[in-house]
Amino acid sequence: MGDYESCMHTPAATTHNKLIGYLFWIFGFTGAHRFYYGKPVTGLIWLLTAGLLGIGWIIDAFLIPGMNADANRRYASGRYDYSVAWILQMFLGVLGIHRFYIGKIGTGILWLLTGGLLGIGWLYDFCTLNGQVDEQNRR
């Protein structure tokens, strides 16, 4: 009994949602889906090159299931939902609403009063939001 149970694979908790990944992929020329899956370097490349001139964007339609599985293995599930945080970041990020959601009230107020620190903090959060949510979920 013990040997069989120790060999069983426990599936990773679901932290990211494939449907949300594909919705962000629609904005793929901005790299939104890559940021969502914790790939900020290629997200920035996609942002600066319009999804590698559209070619990388099309290829990513086939890569999203793998990116989703990788993110589910990499990040901790918990109190805060990554998809909710990302939707708030994507559409209300300059107001800091995502920061309020993950319990960072002080910087949420700062973002609200400064337009996401004049947009720079908002862009910073695109590169670091998965780590921020992961950190809050591990507490």
Region of 22 (left: φ > 0; alpha: ψ -120 to 50; beta: rest) is alpha
Number of domains into which the chain is organized: 2
114 and 63 both lie in a single domain: no
Band (97; pLDDT cuts 50, 70, 90): very high
Structural domain contains residue 84: yes
Query: Quick one: pLDDT at residue 12?
Result: 61
Q: pLDDT per residue over 45-67, tens digit each?
A: 999 999 999 999 999 999 999 99
Higher-scoring residue by pLDDT: 41, 28: 41
The Cα 11–Cα 123 span in angstroms is 32
**Residue 32 is part of which domain span?**
16-74
82 and 61 both lie in a single domain: no
Structural domain contains residue 6: no
Residue 110 pLDDT > 50, yes or no?
Answer: yes
Average pLDDT for 117-133: 96
101 and 128 both lie in a single domain: yes
Residue 8 pLDDT > 80, yes or no?
Answer: no
